[in-house]
Chain A
């Protein structure tokens, strides 16, 4: 066509597009744009590893340099997904080792990664730079040794909260002496002690090291040795922050912190003892991120600490902070955007700390930029939620976990429908919501009516009937991920909203009331969905059709049914429906 730009020009223009959404939109304009775009896409994100196959991806995008992928459903974090479910990354690594020799980045979340995978990565990709394994499992420290030894230009090795079989700390010593490229190292999830001298030398020879997250085994008295070799650090995760109090250790620590003028994020702090906290006061004014969720220090010390951090944007802390500490936070940290309060004693029958709904209310009042909340507590009221909603219409993520399932408003003993209703009505940009407490179908009507930007919803022990689920599926226009456990939602809502499921990434339902018959019907009707029944009681057809399935995972896919399923998962599709009709 006379009026089309040369390919090179279009490619150059497209190179300014970073988001997948934009690139996907561009590919839909016309065939030639689709072709040009697919050859120059360098980053791909696959939210569900079973939604597509390696071949399909490679065929469409032949020149990928960075890939990010997620595997297991979120509820796997809480042991609701049985062992052996899947999410094996090996087929992907194997295919990419051939198709993408220039691959530089691999970021995986909730996937099974073996030592074999890691070795293949380390040997196949000559320019490999970034490996991030978030909540992954299946590998040992031997796999890490391969990465350390063979990836000549490794910039990032981040093990986030992966479950690593820790054979020894020897892997770290596999970084060759000529490796100077590290920018980020996160080994905080590992148990074994690494050779400290190897660590010291590694840190010392990597001038661009910005993030260093140590594991608990690194003793406090050795921390200054590392800090003095990396004063340019921006993010630090300490090892254990405990030792018998000695003045010399304290002063070394103090001095070491004082030279870290760029430090913005601090984490680790296992077993922190109050006597050593003042050693970090010099970095506090610069901190924007503080993770105290492993520090078992009490409220007065926590209050004192957060009061020194006026620029804090993110705080993760245990409920030892109590309402009083949250008040100090609200007073001192006016830039706070994200707050996560974790339970110190989640399984205790009685509260062990004085943390109530009031703490959250206070922070919502005092911190105008607060937009992301994860809060574990033992009591909540509609009044508190209404206040929070009124204070913070800018809330984007709101995850509340009242520890007792189905706990009502502790003042009125009513359901918390009104409170959560206020949240969704007021917070028009809400993208993520986790519910808890006593809730009826009414809260779902509020959610379906108002939560138009909601992308992810987590529901547990809530609702009265299918109507609840129907409200959500029919009303939440932006919904991508829905995860439900122990709710009386059944066939009707699911079948009535079958088409909706193709617009979402996935739906998880466990211990609900969806019958095997309905699953079969859904699988039959919707060929572009994988309807997977997870049932450890044995084949579903050995039970009546009306029998509810244990767990159900439904997701859209172009890959067809899985071929790597364990024996407790059944795909509902036309074939299986025909077999049993």
Chain B
């Protein structure tokens, strides 16, 4: 335990060194800049760690581990494919245009950044400097002359907030903040 702690306190280059061997072991079996190498027998015995030692090392050694070249033996096109898939899942945003009636230019936002309608509407309020009213299923957005609407994949203009957030995220093509009498037509009860 103590030896692991002392390693963590120093500027330990060893922890980040790329080498062949389990973390916590003293071998640098391949990466060797000296001219003189350990004799074959010595090197040989060092390559094998007793099972007891390795299991304790694994319990106390913290992640992340040094990556061993070519291990596990997964081909690069497979690795790349999995990474790409993970990226598509987590990193590409859902960018939609946002227009506001009367504004000179549009904005673009990433829907993935928001956890739900509340966050989204707050962000829109800040971005365009207006207030959206209270949402109710029956009356839409009350108490404001603005209504947030969106165009779905069928091309229809819909009121923001009616469907579950995830469904909204996958069907929203662009956002439009409507103003005035048109907005009232969308069910705004004023």
Contacts and interface: CB of A to CB of B under 8 A. Distances in A.
Interface string B122-159: 00000000000000000000000000000001000000
B35 interface: yes
B67 to A, nearest CB: 6
Contact of A408 (B43, B55, B153): B55
Contacts of A79: 69-70, 76
Interface residues of A, number: 62
A548 to B, nearest CB: 6
B111 interface: no
B164 interface: no
* Residue from B51, B55, B71 whose CB has the most chain A CB atoms within 10 Å: B71
A546 B67 contact: no
B11 interface: no
Given A376-B72, A464-B48, A406 B54 contact: yes
Given A161-B77, A488-B48, A413 B55 contact: yes
Nearest to B30: A511
A550 B69 CA distance: 13
Interface string B70-91: 1111111111011001001100
Contact of A490 (B44, B71, B72): B44
Interface in A473-527: 485-491, 511, 513-515
B153 A244 contact: yes
B106 interface: no
B85 A488 contact: no
Contacts of A461: 47
A78 B85 contact: no
B81 A77 contact: no
B78 A78 contact: no
| Residue of B39, B70, B76 with highest tally of chain A CB at under 10 A | B70
A403 B70 contact: no
Contacts of A350: 63
Nearest to B49: A406
Contact of B37 (A270, A376, A413, A548): A548
B146 to A, nearest CB: 28
Nearest to A515: B40
A78 B40 contact: no
Contact of A161 (B20, B29, B58, B75): B75
B68 interface: yes
Given A343-B74, A406-B54, A488 B44 contact: yes
Given A244-B171, A271-B85, A548-B43, A163 B77 contact: yes
A464 B82 CA distance: 35
Contacts of A513: 40, 43-44, 47
B105 to A, nearest CB: 28
A558 interface: no
B60 interface: no
**Interface on chain A toward B: helix, strand, loop, or mixed SS?**
loop
B70 A405 contact: no
A460 B48 contact: no
Contact of B74 (A342, A349, A546): A342
Contact of B71 (A77, A344, A405, A464): A405
Interface in A383-425: 401, 403-406, 408, 413-415
User: Most A CB atoms within 10 A — which of B48, B55, B81?
Assistant: B48
From A413, A485, A511, residue with most partner B Cβ within 10 Å: A511
Nearest to A245: B170
Contact of B65 (A75, A349, A406, A515): A349
A186 interface: no
Nearest to B47: A488
Q: Which of A350, A547, A550 has the most chain B CB atoms closer than 10 A to its own CB?
A: A547
Contacts of B103: none
A543 B30 contact: no
B52 interface: yes
Interface in B18-41: 20, 22, 29-30, 35-37, 39-41
A415 B78 CA distance: 30
B185 interface: no
Nearest to B77: A161
Contacts of A344: 82
A488 B49 CA distance: 12
B45 interface: yes
B64 interface: yes
A547 B22 CA distance: 23
A296 B170 CA distance: 19
B107 to A, nearest CB: 23
A173 interface: no
A544 interface: yes
B47 A487 contact: yes
Contacts of B79: 346
Nearest to A407: B54
Contacts of A408: 51, 54-55
A422 to B, nearest CB: 19
Contacts of A489: 44
A261 B127 CA distance: 55
Contacts of B77: 161, 163, 189
Contacts of B82: 296, 318, 344-345
A544 B20 contact: no
Contacts of B49: 406
B36 A544 contact: yes
A403 B35 contact: no
Nearest to B42: A513
A349 to B, nearest CB: 4
B70 A80 contact: yes
B40 A546 contact: yes
10 contacts: A244-B170, A294-B85, A403-B72, A404-B58, A406-B22, A460-B73, A488-B44, A513-B47, A544-B36, A547-B37
Q: Closest 5 interchain pairs by CB?
A: A488-B44, A78-B70, A349-B63, A513-B40, A490-B40
Interface of B: 20, 22, 29-30, 35-37, 39-41, 43-45, 47-49, 51-52, 54-55, 58, 63-65, 67-79, 81-82, 85, 88-89, 153, 170-171
Given A271-B85, A343-B74, 13 more contacts: A77-B73, A78-B70, A78-B74, A161-B77, A293-B78, A294-B85, A347-B67, A350-B63, A404-B58, A460-B73, A490-B40, A511-B20, A550-B30
